[in-house]
Amino acid sequence: MKNARCVTLIIYIIGVFYALPLMFEYEPFEERGLQEILANVEEKFYRQKPTKLGRNAIFRWTYALINALGVYVIPLTIIVILNRKLFLSIRSLKRRSAKSKAPLATKQGININKLDKKKKIPFEFILTKKMNTSI
């Protein structure tokens, strides 16, 4: 549980530092053009314009690069690596099971039985659940 809290805190801090520059990218200004067109309206109209930081090309490119890395490249790379590890683990389990001629059992008592090639079933494997009759 302590590891989960530590990881959550780290992700929260990274998120704050990631979003912090966005607070200083734009500033509100009062638009007077709409007030002149709509003469009888008492409300003020505000829009946003880029600040000096928001107009800085180096900031824009750096933030776009960090955004691309953090949102697309790094998560996709992690998913590919973890899927590869999972695939290799499953393949290793199948090979060890084939060598010992044991069925591939799971925690729920489900075995994967190979079907005969003569049967016309579209699935290569079928799941069968063992019934617990010792009750």
Mean pLDDT, the chain, integer: 79
* 124 domain-assigned: no
Q: Is residue 124 very low, low, confident or very high in pLDDT (cuts 50, 70, 90)?
A: very low
The answer to whether residues 47 and 31 touch, using CB atoms and an 8 Å cutoff, is yes
DSSP state of 105: B
| pLDDT of 49 higher than 70 | yes
pTM of the model: 0.53
The domain containing residue 50 runs over which residues? 1-55
- 3-state helix, strand, coil split of the chain in percent (to 5) is 55, 15, 25
* 96 domain-assigned: no
As a whole number of angstroms, the distance between CA 41 and CA 33 comes to 12
Domain count within the chain: 1
- Two tokens, residue 105: 């059992």
* 4 domain-assigned: yes
The answer to whether residues 94 and 75 touch, using CB atoms and an 8 Å cutoff, is no
The answer to whether residues 53 and 59 touch, using CB atoms and an 8 Å cutoff, is yes
* 21 domain-assigned: yes
Q: Pick from 46, 11, 44, 3: which is nearest to 27 by CA? A: 46
* 31 domain-assigned: yes
